[in-house]
Amino acid sequence: MSNNSLVITGVGIFSPFGSRKEDFWEGVNKGVSGIREITSFDALKYGCNYAGEIKGFEPEAYLGKKGLKYLARTTKLVMSGAYICLRDAGIRSETRENDRYDAMSLGIVLGTTLGVAHSIYAFQETSLVEGPSCVSPMAFPNLVMNSHAGYVAIKEGMKGLNLTVSTGYNASLDAVGIAASFLESNQAKCFLVGGVEELSGELLLWQRERWPGSRDIHVGEGCGIYTVEKLGDAVSRGAKIYGKVAGYGNAFSESSEGLEKAIEQAISEAGMTMDEIDYIVRGINAGEREKNMESEVIETNFGHKMRCLDLTNALGDSYSAGGSLQIGAGLGLIEQKIVSNFLTVSTDPSGSSSALIIRDLSA
The residue ranges of every structural domain in the chain are: 8-236, 248-359
Within this chain, domains 8-236 and 248-359 share the same CATH topology: yes
Stretch among 136-140, 159-163, 250-254, 318-322 having the lowest mean pLDDT:
136-140
Three-state SS for 74?
helix
Are 167 and 348 a contacting pair, CB within 8 Å?
A: yes
Confidence check: pLDDT of 4 > 90 = no
Q: What is the pTM of this model?
A: 0.95
Q: What CATH architecture applies to the domain 8-236?
A: 3-Layer(aba) Sandwich (3.40)
Q: For CA atoms 170, 110, 249, 7, give the dihedral sign.
A: negative
CATH architecture of 248-359: 3-Layer(aba) Sandwich (3.40)
- Mean pLDDT for the chain overall: 92
Q: CA–CA distance from 320 to each of 83, 112, 284, 317, 358 (Å)?
A: 20, 5, 9, 9, 19
pLDDT for position 95: 65
Question: Is residue 49 pLDDT above 90, yes or no?
Answer: no
Binned at pLDDT 50, 70 and 90, residue 97 comes out as low
Query: Using 50, 70 and 90 to split pLDDT, how confident is the model at 323?
Result: very high
Q: Per residue in 242-280, is it b (16+ CB within 10 Å) or e — as a string?
A: bbbbbbbbbbebeebebbbbbbbbbbebbebeeeebbbb
Nearest CA among 1, 9, 2, 4 for reference residue 230:
4
**Pair 26, 17: CB distance under 8 Å:** yes
Q: Are strands 36-37 and 341-347 parallel, antiparallel or unpaired?
A: unpaired
- pLDDT of 264 reads 98
| 1 has a pLDDT exceeding 60 | no
Query: Within its chain, how far is the Cα of 292 from the centroid?
Result: 23
User: pLDDT (tens digit, 9 = 90+) per residue, 50-78?
Assistant: 999 998 899 999 999 988 988 999 999 99
Whether 326 shows a pLDDT value over 70: the answer reads yes
End-to-end CA distance of the chain, in Å? 11
Confidence of residue 126 (pLDDT cuts 50, 70, 90): confident
pLDDT at 201 over 70: yes
What's the pLDDT tens digit per position in 210-264? 777 666 789 999 999 999 999 999 999 999 999 999 999 999 998 999 999 999 9
Cα distances from 353 to residues 163, 347, 350, in angstroms, run: 20, 4, 9
